[in-house]
Structure 1
Amino acid sequence: MRLLEIVIPLLLAVYLLWPHPRLRTIRLAPSIALILTFLHLAVEGYRWQMIPLYALTLLLTISSLIKIKLQTDWSRAASYLTVILLAVSTALPALLPVPAITKPSGSLEVGTIIFELTDESRKEIYSGKDEARSFMVQVWYPANPLPESKKAPWMSRSDVYAPAISSFLNMPTFFLDHLALAKTPAYMDAPIAETSTRFP
């Protein structure tokens, strides 16, 4: 799970498990979690595995604000039952995380470029169409990324491959949509590094 995806359920758990009576700052924890949810959507990106957690955050925020206004509090039993619901809601994004790719240990940054090559002498056997065979080649190299260079996706054309893999696994086509959120430590189409020594 990514940073905000961890912090949001932790805030809700602190709110639910805090001994009675709750401090005023603790009562605001769901509201802070809701603000972090909007930040998560803007920075880390939406993914369907988080929908139960989004809904629970919204419900707990509304409930906590009503209870602040009415000067009431959750019963201990309701808090514990809601913690179980929180654990179940958190399980899905934890079991299907966005892959985190480790940065290489070398001193140089990494660039990558993708080529789609066509072999006119062979027919494509997978598309079901009468066309020449195409295949993709991806190259990684020492790079000197520009300030505007963007991180390369972990899976290029995830809009095509993720649904295809999901269908192959007999899952709904959106099952692996979160793979589009994974980035590599390599920069897409970055200029090659200039150095006076040989590359490793």
Structure 2
Amino acid sequence: MQIILEGYRWQMIPAYFILLISMLLLCFGKVFFRGSLFKKIVVGLFLFLSLSLAWVLPYIFPVFTLPEPTGVYEVGAQDIYFKTDLDEIITEDPNDTRELMIKAWFPAAPEEESREPYLNQADRQGFALKYGLPITSFNYLDLIETHTFKDAQVAPGEFPVLIFSHGQYSNATGYSAIIEDIVSHGYIVLVINHTYESMGSLFPDGRIAYFNAEYDSQKLNQEMTDLAWTSSQDFLKATTKVEKRAVAERLVLNYYASEITQRWAIDVKVVVNELEVWNAKSFLSNHIDLNNIGVFGHSQGGAAIGQAMVNSIKIKAGFNIDGVQWGTVINDTLRQPFVLLSSDWPDNHPKINTQVYREDNIANFTSFLLQNSGHASFMDIPYIINISKLSESGSIDKSLASRITSETVVRFFNEHLKDQGTFDVDKLTAKYSELVVED
């Protein structure tokens, strides 16, 4: 029945096997349990192991349901291919220019369009390659139904645009749980896939650019490992703000992640600069509110959007989701409103951002902590992998984490891009006890 309703998926192989054995037992039961005590024990253990796997695998890798968007708009999506004039430094060909794939989510007016599949083949195959799994391991994600309509028309009107930057070596579009909800509240969200530093980029001609592990390993060498370790220890040992600031500055300016931050911030900036072109001639034509541009990002992407705000005066507000602020922000001034939403890191985790986001370099700043959360709580990973220890998502309920994240993002940008005055920190923290303000 499961195969008929859902189709084949590898997690169910032990269950298929148990069904086969059950049928054989009905017909030839006595044959299976003839022989010595040792044989009976072996057969029994084998059956017990198969039965256990038949329950465990579908539980760990479930066919999950994404949260229902809470806004008034339907959600649509289309892909944008953007060939920039930037040099591509990650590949060996000196003539390469940087190509970006951007997934545009937008308020939609769907008619008969089909739903967008959950993660494309580049995301799925890159996910499998990262963890050394067969390349078809995540094809069962065809069974996941999104709330996004593929190639639908954009809803009437102009909408503020938010540019999103993902975490390093992550699925660029693996944030559907929060992005679908944000879009449903009247935002265009452009998700930049940072080529060669995500799990995979699928280009219109069928090429897939996977994470470039060779380039990454060359950069993330022993010198970088030593810098991260010694700086973390020195930061924890430091007893004054001056000492902590000096250690933080040494780390955020010189660690390899700072180079990534600068590169991704340029990606963000060139996309911001291209918005006027897309608003004049693309499926987004006359739908982009060019006067209201915001940025948000997770992990490494959170650092990139902070750096991009320094580099572009067109950006009105930014929201960093659990990213260490690598790059030059520590010595620059952030004039736009800015929020940091952190996961619940252990006490021995150095809080570098306390030395980057300071009263003397950022005027309008709020720092939140999402209690009992993990670094992956803001992604779709807790839905894909249903054990928090494996997904690094803490003990917080995954749907609650998604709801708090998307609502906080929406209320913040409503305040600064729509002038709606909805970003009331006291009301937010009163509504969600898991969300607390940090000094």
- TM-score (norm. length: structure 2): 0.29
| CA offsets 1:152-189 (integer angstroms, 9 cap, x no match) | 12212x2x232323322334434434334433211011
Q: Which whole-Å deviations, capped at 9, do the CAs of 1:29-64 have from their partners, x for residues lacking one? A: xxxxxxx13313xxx232212111122223324544
Deviation at 1:89, TM superposition (A): 1.5
Asked if 1:38 corresponds to 2:8, the answer is no
Shift in CA distance, 54/63, structure 1 to aligned 2, threshold 3 Å: same
Distance in 1 (alpha carbons) for counterparts of 2:23 and 2:126: 38
Instruction: State the partner residue of 2:82.
Output: 117
Distance 1:155 1:126 in 2: 24
Alignment of 1:174-193 (within 5 A): 174-193=136-155
Identity %: 25
CA distance in 2, matches of 1:164, 1:94: 23
1:85 paired to 2:50: yes
Map 1:77-156 onto structure 2 (within 5 A): 82=47, 85-119=50-84, 121-126=85-90, 128=92, 130-147=95-112, 149-156=113-120
SS in structure 2 of the partner of residue 183 of structure 1: coil
Contact 2:14 2:50 (C-alpha < 8 Å) held by counterparts: no
- Other structure's SS at 1:151 match: coil
User: Residues 132, 180 of structure 1: CA spacing in aligned structure 2 closer, same or farther, 3 A cutoff?
Assistant: farther
Aligned residue type for 2:13: I
| Matched letter for residue 63 of structure 2 | V
CA contact (8 A) 2:15 2:50 kept: no
**CA, structure 1 residues 83+194, in 2 after alignment: closer, same or farther (shift >3 Å)?**
farther
**Shift of residue 194, structure 1, vs aligned partner:** 4.1
1:125 Cα deviation after fit: 3.9
Name the SS of the counterpart of 1:51 in structure 2: helix
Distance in 2 (CA, whole Å) between partners of 1:183 and 1:126 is 35
Cross-structure match for 1:8 = none
Which has the bigger relative contact order, CA under 8 A and spacing at least 6?
1
Matched, 1:164 2:126: yes
Amino acid at match of 2:103: Q
8 Å CA contact 2:73–2:108 kept in 1: the answer is: yes
Distance 1:153 1:97 in 2: 16
Equivalent residues in 2 for 1:20-35 (5 A)? none
Return the letter of the residue paired with 2:10.
W
Q: Secondary structure at the match of 1:98?
A: coil
Query: What's 1:18 paired with?
Result: none
Opposite residue 117 of structure 1, the aligned amino acid is F
In 1, Cα distance between equivalents of 2:132 and 2:45: 36
Q: Does the residue aligned with 1:117 lie in a helix, a strand or coil?
A: strand
2-structure distance, mates of 1:62, 1:106:
52
Shift of 1:122: 2.0
User: Shift in Å at residue 84 of structure 1?
Assistant: 6.1
Contact 1:118 1:134 in 2 (8 A): yes
Pick closer, same or farther for the CA change 1:175–1:38 going to 2, 3 Å.
closer
Residue type at the aligned position of 1:93: P
CA contact (8 A) 1:37 1:54 kept: no
- Cα deviation per residue 1:102-148 (whole Å; 9 max; x = unaligned)? 120223321111111111x223344555533111111222222222x
TM-score, length basis structure 1? 0.58
Equivalent residue pairs, number: 148
Cα distance, 1:171–1:85 mapped onto 2, change above 3 Å: closer
Corresponding letter in the other structure for 2:127:
I
Q: Which runs of 5+ in 2 are unaligned?
A: 30-42, 161-184, 187-439
Residues 83, 99 of structure 2: 8 Å contact kept:
yes
SS in 1 for 2:146: strand
Aligned counterpart, 1:60: 22
Q: Secondary structure at the match of 1:57?
A: helix
